[in-house]
Structure 1
Amino acid sequence: MRSRHRSTRVVVRAGVAVGVVGLALVGVAVPPATAQDREVRADRSAFRACHASLLPAGTAGVDRREVTSEVDGLVQARLAPGNGREGDWDLAVFDKASGAVVAASAALRSRELAESFVRKGQQLVVQACRYDGPSRTATLGVDFLALTPQGTPTTAERAEVVRVETPRQEDKDTLLGLDLDLTEKGDATGVEVVLAGDADRETLRRSGLKSTTVDADLSRTSREAAERDRAYTARGRASGLPSRRTSYRHLYEYEYELKELARGNPRLVRAFTLAEPTNEGRDVVAVEIAEDVDNAADGKPVNVLMGVHHAREWPAGEHAVEWAHELVNGYHRDNSIRSLVARTRNIVVPIVNADGFSISREAEPKGDFTRFDYEMKRKNCRADDSPPQLRTGVCKANPGGSARGTDPNRNYAGFWGGAGAGLTWGSETFRGSAPFSEPETRNIRDLVSKRAVTNLITLHTYGNLVLRPPGVADVRAPLEEPVVKALGDRMASRNGYDSIPSWGLYDTTGTTEDWSYWATGGFGFTFEINTAGFHPPYEDAVVAEYVGAPPAAGAGKGGNRAAFLDMLANAADPAAHATLVGTAPKGYRLKVHKTFQTPTSPVRQPDGTTTPPIQVTDTVESTYSSTGGRFTWSVNPSTRPYVAGRYGRDPLAPPQAAIALPNPPGVPAENTRFPGNPVAESIPFTVQGVPAVDNGRFDVSVSWTSTSTDWDLYVLDAAGQVVTQSAAGGTNSERATLLDPPAGQYTAVLVNYDQVDPANPDDWAAGRVEFSSPVPPTYGVKEAYTLTCTDRQGRLVGLTDVFVDRGQTVDVGDVCTDSARTTKQRRR
């Protein structure tokens, strides 16, 4: 039908100062729009992408308003349900002259936010499209926010990536304390770090940590990547991805694509909205993929893949949504994938941090990592924790810049408050004011806690890593470490990544899998995709990494596609989770339930003090809806790994006695290029084994007089391979550690890296190898689920406790009868 409304007035809210550097929001208020102007109406719905093109006035299913920007600044167009009725309306803003989309939103309901930059005098068309649902109307609001430059512009400083050498735990702790922008690319001896400017370079210099330049000009690299993306898309050839996509998506494209997958596969795919909107009011959209998808309580194991906790990590969302396409395409065309989908339920959340991603994706590409480089925003849009004077302004333009917000992947309760998270608002890893203080993490907590998620992968960039719990070395691995490691290793064999515990990169607390695994028992991993950057060229970071093509490390091995399939196969394997079997009448509902408290870490404070741990209450539950007769129901183990115990082994013999390392005569020449230059001192030593001794670790240490002198320490095995090292700077000692060392011949190599006065060398002394016993495992108590059964009227008719371990099947009998309740047995 034709629109009954010819135009609308626009509310321009009075703005507030954004600060002395950057931008300020100012506005001149105009009379509010009438109720009639604010209502958009369509008597019919149409399945179309509202953002795809500017449609002619009068197009069925569309209502539109023409407005003119009176400011240089932002346009914010919002939709809300009309007359309190919920439907699915989408929103897009177009430049009237060119027809180019300026901003859009395509979530699953009538709650939309389309926001972007506009210029004064720009003529716009705001297009509202009724996609589906019963509501014929929605309420439209359009605001303009003026952005005025404030203060003296500063020349952007050169941003670079350096590799900081961290061979010892003390070095990693020092690096974490510098509050620099750490990437996820690293290994046992070093981490790549972004230095945004001279202040960061000076901070690193003063720390005494050594570094080498990896990328001397990030801005240039960013421009080159963008140009490669444009050229790749311009070729006009479909990629090898399941969707055939050739470019990074916008948030509204993710939203639309997910609901189109659901519309095209109604019994296989369900699109849904997570529990809470974001700080800016955006809905977070996900899909579930399973046979008879609407029957979520069918007892199948649940596999979850999610992306973009960190806004700038665009490939994470791309891999997640391609996995959704993979499952749908494979279900129809590939018998092996069809079989896996038939035995599991799969949930995909491509964009966890919708606010931050939208800002990063729509921002002007700068690549300089300054405070106002919104393309490189990492965190969410929380403003409350920043200083009062920096809380003003919208997230896309505010005085705190991209630094404002909380890091969602430091906000989960798992060991929250400990090492590896920022303590203050401006840190890129700021943990937030409390565990689960953010809607993004509460959304994932709600999902995982209520769906008995047995398998979970959270995607990030960058580093070519498959990370497993724990995030902190001092926590010690869980008793299931061999099983978790084997699964991580199997996936890493497909994508060519390194499979390591999370702390092997550096300590982190408050991360996704360090809550989900320890609290629920569901396997959890982080993938760090590619080694080139946060969102490097699409052809490499998305296409090649997903399908396993050059230059990806998984070329010829299957790539992340094959790794995701390995995780799905594990979800389908009864040996990887627990199983309940029994009998229940049709229409009866069973539920396993457990409520418990888990302490955080002792909470580090900005002033250097530590306060006691916070007790966090979690509730984990899963439901099964009986179809009548015998049932099989997949759940996680009833005992969560946090209380099950820690991994270790009992000593079989005492540790070996310490060995003194003699210092050979003389001092070797200075050498800054070991092992390329082999000039050094070598001292052999022997490590014994069982039955005589049992060494859980050895520590090789040396010391000298002055911290201005620099000796480096390497330990080689009998084959001449470096097995551990310590190469710090600014200290007068080095210590290299090897866990569970095999018996055999080793060599300590001392490299004279730097002498303040070569004529009077400061030689090393007090060399020593010390051995320690293995740390025995610790064992906790077993926990039970409370299993209840309710009849069709919701009345409780059965109750029992259930103890069940991973890989175990427990028969709960006819739990829905009174006799089952009176004869219940506790199974241990």
Structure 2
Amino acid sequence: MRADGSAGQACYESVQSRRAQGIDQREVTSTVDGLIQARLAPRDGAEGDWDIAVFDKATGKVVAASSALRSRELAESFVKKNQQLIVQACRYSGSARAVTVGLDFLALTPQGTPTGVAEQPQRAEVVRVETPERTDKSKLLALGLDVTEKGDETGIEVVLADDADRKTLRDSGLRSTVINPDLSTTSREDAAKDREYAATTQTSGLPSGRTSYRHLYEYEFELKELARKNPKLVKAFTLNHPSIEGRDVLGVEIATDVANIADGKPVNVTMGVHHAREWPASEHAIEWAYELVNGYQNDPAIKSLVGKTRNIIVPIVNVDGFSISREAEPKGDFSRFDYEMKRKNCKADDSPSQFRTGICKANPAGRERGIDPNRNYPTFWGGNGASPNWNSDTFRGSGPFSEPETRNIRDLVSKRQVTNLVTLHTYGNLILRPPGVAATRAPLDEPVLKALGDKMASRNGYRSIPSWGLYDTTGTTEDWSFWSTGGLGYTFEINTAGFHPTYQNAVVAEYTGTAPAAGAGKGGNRAAFLDMLGSAADPAAHATLIGSAPRGYELKLHKTFQTPTSPVLQPDGSTKPPIYVTDTLDSTFSSTGGRFAWSVNPSTRPYVAGRYGREPQGPPQASVPLANPAGVPAENTQYPGNPVSESMPFTVKGLPEVDNGRFEVVVQWANTDTDWDLYVYNAAGELVTSSAAGGTNSERATLFDPPPGNYTAVMVNYDQVDPANPDDWGNGRIEFASPIPPTYGTREAYTLTCTNRIGRLVGIADVYADRGQTVDVGEVCTNSARANKQRRR
């Protein structure tokens, strides 16, 4: 297809006149009931930006489209046999006057099944599984069910797609209650509400005014339009690695003098949709881009923050999976062929051979094929908290960084000084911080991470907790970025209603902080994102190098290191030795002449810096007996709805007499078929810890760093083998332990080099920098050896 001029508009908006500038068209007829794939590729070696759209000729409605930054496009969607189509290519910008267009029609059996027989629908539901102890959480994760991110200390919501899932959970012995008995009905109702909201609402309260979930091609076009309309403030870019299906992954950078990426400002990264079905994540990310652009023009406070930082936004990390989820019919039954609920990417190689055929949108394994990108990063990879099984929604992949999605983020974070990072997900109303694994212990930066997490949570009404507080996760984004670079990293789990519930609630209300969002009246995610940006701009939250260098000279910070994964869990339950993964961090600063300031992360990565703790200020409290009151309360499976139970008060002492790092309330009985549950409340009547496992003859409830005061232990008689001869619990006890002292590792250095205008190395030095520290590197380009010796005195 050819065009002499540029269209400069969205190719997918409508069928244009054949005589319109920048447009070329072809009419085709579908030969199948199935899929059309329309691809663009550069022609004659000329690169430019062309887009493509496919329309139904009869209605003029868009069927498929693609609007990335180059001339490498894939538009894909469903068509009917003999359907008449218009294929429209649009030259957006650049010097390329022609592109090559390729069309494929792929016939599909019903739902992409290997037999051609449509899968029988089954009822999907959400249940809350009781997981009061970490062993319960580990047991749940090992079942291979679709575990959500909505949970707390005592339970986690899980999607049960069919009768087989229900049997798996039932056979595990874990207890559960139904939260939503029919997800298909909810999905259809939400889709209808979205159509009504879009039809009746002209403009929302979002920065863009948007009223409905975007398609991939709309994200792509809007990002490059932001850049075209604000060339000095916004730059759109393509990440290094195309997706499995060949799509480009797009982002934008927002900063004053945006093209000068080596200006030394701290970098704030926001990204969405590692998981395909989590549509609100990408919506919040792109609205943040609009927020910064609009705010720079109209809000002095935002303009000041933008002037002090560089902001990188990648709304959709997993473009293949998102495109499939977004274009699929809304079923909501979580069956194998419910592509709307696809979570993973499109990798086929790790599946059994019989499931490797077919394209991602229609294959014998359906949505189960692929890798979970947010379990594919190397930090703690291979351990509990991800699955080694190919069809699990948390399948970790064949190795760390095996996927283009994670390699894209690695390249981005490794080449820039990313001081702050947020990765957006759904759902659970949570702000999660490292570590993802409880046994790792908190990093030395725990007070900093917690303070910022708590501040952001005060805006959106979410719970601010360590990631392991939900359940152990391995191979996640912020664990790798934080432990390897020192940049502060968080996961937001947006809303509590589902993976992509109604746009009005999950996007508009959650972002703007209006009802019914938990952040109503507090600022919502908009205010939380501004808190993160304020942290990025704050020199106390990272390190700063100062010095002087001639104009045009380039400074470079370099560090290479290896980090072990977890021992690699195998499908049979055994483990293999950890894998050592090499990371290289390289970032640059271009001198404008004279004195400079360069915002950087600490030189010592948190993985080796040590672990947070505190030195004991006194002995732990002596063990306290927990006396069993006379009698046995009636069986009660409805607590706290039914309050029948036994209560035992006890007191926790404090400084200067004792220093308790934790207490554990321990109770025991004779028969493992008997089931007592234990709950502990503080003086205000708030539940502070509990233990309600089944299949044991004991309960152990733990609270770390307990405030001194009065507490009450409550025992609930959940189940007796023989109610006529009850198996009562024996005398219990409260055991106390000292706090764990902090540990400190070896300090690491950056290698700082300086090259002159012709690329010749003229200076070199080792630089040690801590969070909040300003380090003067002196005249590193002209006097590095002497300056280095002076710093070491």
TM-score (norm 2): 0.98
Counterpart AA for 2:705: D
For residues 548-591 of structure 1, what are the alpha-carbon distances to aligned partners after superposition, in whole Å with 9 as ceiling and x for unaligned? Answer: 00000000000000000000011001111110111111111111
For residues 393-421 of structure 1, what are the alpha-carbon distances to aligned partners after superposition, in whole Å with 9 as ceiling and x for unaligned? Answer: 00000011001000000001111111110
| Corresponding residue for residue 551 of structure 2 | 586
Counterpart AA for 1:346: N
| Corresponding residue for residue 381 of structure 2 | 416
Residue 331 (structure 2) aligned to one of 332, 347, 366: 366
The Cα shift of 1:820 comes to 2.4
Mapped contact 1:802–1:827 kept (Cα < 8 A): no
1:470 has 2:431 as partner: no
Paired with 1:456 and 1:77, the residues of 2 have a C-alpha distance of 35
Report 1:60-139 matches (<5 A): 60-139=21-100
| Corresponding residue for residue 821 of structure 1 | 785
The Cα shift of 1:458 comes to 0.4
| Corresponding residue for residue 733 of structure 1 | 698
SS at match of 2:65: strand
Residue 106 (structure 2) aligned to one of 134, 145, 169: 145
Residue 445 (structure 2) aligned to one of 475, 480, 494: 480
Paired with 2:43 and 2:578, the residues of 1 have a C-alpha distance of 46
Q: Percent identity?
A: 75
| Corresponding residue for residue 605 of structure 2 | 640
| Corresponding residue for residue 393 of structure 2 | 428
Counterpart AA for 1:639: T
The Cα shift of 1:661 comes to 2.1
Unaligned runs of 5+ in 1: 1-39
| Corresponding residue for residue 121 of structure 2 | 156
| Corresponding residue for residue 322 of structure 2 | 357
1:54 has 2:15 as partner: yes
Mapped contact 1:162–1:214 kept (Cα < 8 A): yes
For residues 451-470 of structure 1, what are the alpha-carbon distances to aligned partners after superposition, in whole Å with 9 as ceiling and x for unaligned? Answer: 11000000000000010000
Paired with 1:329 and 1:770, the residues of 2 have a C-alpha distance of 56
The Cα shift of 1:422 comes to 0.9
Shift in alpha-carbon separation, 1:145–1:826, aligned structure 2, 3 A? farther
Unaligned runs of 5+ in 2: none
The Cα shift of 1:151 comes to 4.7
The Cα shift of 1:822 comes to 4.5
Paired with 2:715 and 2:698, the residues of 1 have a C-alpha distance of 12
For residues 155-193 of structure 1, what are the alpha-carbon distances to aligned partners after superposition, in whole Å with 9 as ceiling and x for unaligned? Answer: 211000011111111111111111110111111111100
Paired with 1:112 and 1:446, the residues of 2 have a C-alpha distance of 22
SS at match of 1:132: strand
The Cα shift of 1:675 comes to 2.8
Moved more, 216-225 or 768-777: 768-777
Paired with 2:75 and 2:640, the residues of 1 have a C-alpha distance of 55
Paired with 2:177 and 2:321, the residues of 1 have a C-alpha distance of 31
Counterpart AA for 2:635: E
Paired with 1:720 and 1:239, the residues of 2 have a C-alpha distance of 41
Shift in alpha-carbon separation, 1:375–1:479, aligned structure 2, 3 A? same
SS at match of 2:69: coil
| Corresponding residue for residue 35 of structure 1 | none
The Cα shift of 1:641 comes to 0.6
Residue 720 (structure 1) aligned to one of 685, 708, 726: 685
Report 1:292-307 matches (<5 A): 292-307=257-272
The Cα shift of 1:674 comes to 2.5
For residues 420-459 of structure 1, what are the alpha-carbon distances to aligned partners after superposition, in whole Å with 9 as ceiling and x for unaligned? Answer: 1011110000001100000000000100110110000000
Paired with 2:631 and 2:17, the residues of 1 have a C-alpha distance of 87
The Cα shift of 1:335 comes to 0.5
Paired with 1:827 and 1:130, the residues of 2 have a C-alpha distance of 57
1:755 has 2:755 as partner: no
For residues 734-792 of structure 1, what are the alpha-carbon distances to aligned partners after superposition, in whole Å with 9 as ceiling and x for unaligned? Answer: 11111011222222211111223211212112522222221111100111110111111
Mapped contact 1:689–1:695 kept (Cα < 8 A): yes
| Corresponding residue for residue 528 of structure 1 | 493
**Superposition CA RMSD, Å:** 1.2
Counterpart AA for 1:213: V
| Corresponding residue for residue 706 of structure 1 | 671
| Corresponding residue for residue 454 of structure 2 | 489
Paired with 2:789 and 2:768, the residues of 1 have a C-alpha distance of 10
1:452 has 2:386 as partner: no
Moved more, 77-86 or 348-357: 77-86
Mapped contact 1:303–1:571 kept (Cα < 8 A): yes
Paired with 1:244 and 1:151, the residues of 2 have a C-alpha distance of 44
Residue 242 (structure 1) aligned to one of 172, 185, 207: 207
SS at match of 1:233: helix
Paired with 1:56 and 1:760, the residues of 2 have a C-alpha distance of 86
The Cα shift of 1:373 comes to 0.1
Paired with 1:520 and 1:385, the residues of 2 have a C-alpha distance of 30
The Cα shift of 1:93 comes to 0.7
The Cα shift of 1:650 comes to 1.4
Residue 357 (structure 2) aligned to one of 384, 387, 392: 392
Paired with 2:65 and 2:672, the residues of 1 have a C-alpha distance of 58
Mapped contact 2:109–2:116 kept (Cα < 8 A): no
Paired with 1:704 and 1:557, the residues of 2 have a C-alpha distance of 48
1:42 has 2:3 as partner: yes
Counterpart AA for 1:137: A
Paired with 2:709 and 2:233, the residues of 1 have a C-alpha distance of 57
Paired with 1:154 and 1:785, the residues of 2 have a C-alpha distance of 57
Paired with 1:205 and 1:579, the residues of 2 have a C-alpha distance of 55
| Corresponding residue for residue 182 of structure 1 | 147
1:550 has 2:508 as partner: no
SS at match of 1:271: strand
Mapped contact 1:802–1:826 kept (Cα < 8 A): no
Paired with 2:791 and 2:184, the residues of 1 have a C-alpha distance of 61
Kindly report structure 1 stretches of 4+ aligned residues shifted beyond 4 Å: none
The Cα shift of 1:237 comes to 1.9
Paired with 1:214 and 1:338, the residues of 2 have a C-alpha distance of 44
1:620 has 2:585 as partner: yes
Counterpart AA for 2:90: C
1:507 has 2:472 as partner: yes
Mapped contact 2:780–2:787 kept (Cα < 8 A): no
TM-score (norm 1): 0.94
Mapped contact 2:434–2:467 kept (Cα < 8 A): yes
1:661 has 2:626 as partner: yes
For residues 794-815 of structure 1, what are the alpha-carbon distances to aligned partners after superposition, in whole Å with 9 as ceiling and x for unaligned? Answer: 1101111110111111111111
The Cα shift of 1:111 comes to 0.3
Moved more, 308-317 or 760-769: 760-769
